[in-house]
Amino acid sequence: MSIKGDRAEQLFLEGYNCSQAVAGAFADDIGLPFEKVIMLISGFGGGFSRAREVCGTVSGGVFVLSALYGYTDVNNASLKKNCYTVVRRLMELFKNECGSCVCRDLLGLKAGEDTSLDHISHRTGEFYGKRPCPRLCKTAAELTEQVIDEVESGKLALD
């Protein structure tokens, strides 16, 4: 049971997109106002604005990890490596748990299918019955939390 996972799932069910739900669950942890996090990550939902590429839940987790372990000194190879290490760990865990980090794969869609911005589905009980998105939000938040715990405990070694 994960508070962050439950929060991400709830945010999605309230109407936030998948990336907003995951990143929003960590707003306090990354020191940004919830509204700012939601705005900054908004274009990543639906696998980059319904393009069905990288799953928005993964993008939300990457956003959180970048806020915590990102770098600004482009000449510091160690900090860059640390950031990439935590992001790749999240992607590895998510892929192992869910089978893919690609939205269309997770939804069982073919390339180009279900990407039109003119046909955005209303979120109803039927919609949620066909989509794994609430569960994926929960999973991505839990795995993001796991990566943070691995770093803090020293299990995931950083430079």
Residues 53-70 pLDDT 10s:
999 999 999 999 999 999
Both tokens assigned to 107: 């939804």
Reduce the DSSP state of residue 83 to 3 states and report it.
helix
Asked whether 141 and 148 are in contact (CB, 8 A), the reply is no
Using a pLDDT cut of 90, give the percent of the chain over it.
83
> Interior CA angle at 152 toward 26 and 96, to 5°?
70
- Select from 43, 38, 13, 1 the least CA-distant residue to 23: 38
Q: What is the pLDDT, as a whole number, of residue 122?
A: 67
Q: In this model, does residue 155 exceed pLDDT 90?
A: yes
Region of poorest pLDDT, from 53-57, 113-117, 130-134: 113-117
Q: What is the pLDDT, as a whole number, of residue 92?
A: 98
Query: Which CA distances in Å does 116 have to 69, 84, 94, 112, 122?
Result: 35, 32, 26, 9, 14
Q: In this model, does residue 44 exceed pLDDT 70?
A: yes
Region of poorest pLDDT, from 41-50, 59-68, 117-126: 117-126
Any residues with CB less than 8 A from the CB of 132 and at least 6 apart, and which? 106, 107
79 vs 117, residue with greater confidence: 79
Reduce the DSSP state of residue 81 to 3 states and report it.
helix
Q: What integer is the mean pLDDT of 90-115?
A: 90
In this prediction the pTM is 0.93
Q: What is the pLDDT, as a whole number, of residue 111?
A: 75
Directed axis angle between helix 18-25 and helix 3-13, to 10°?
140
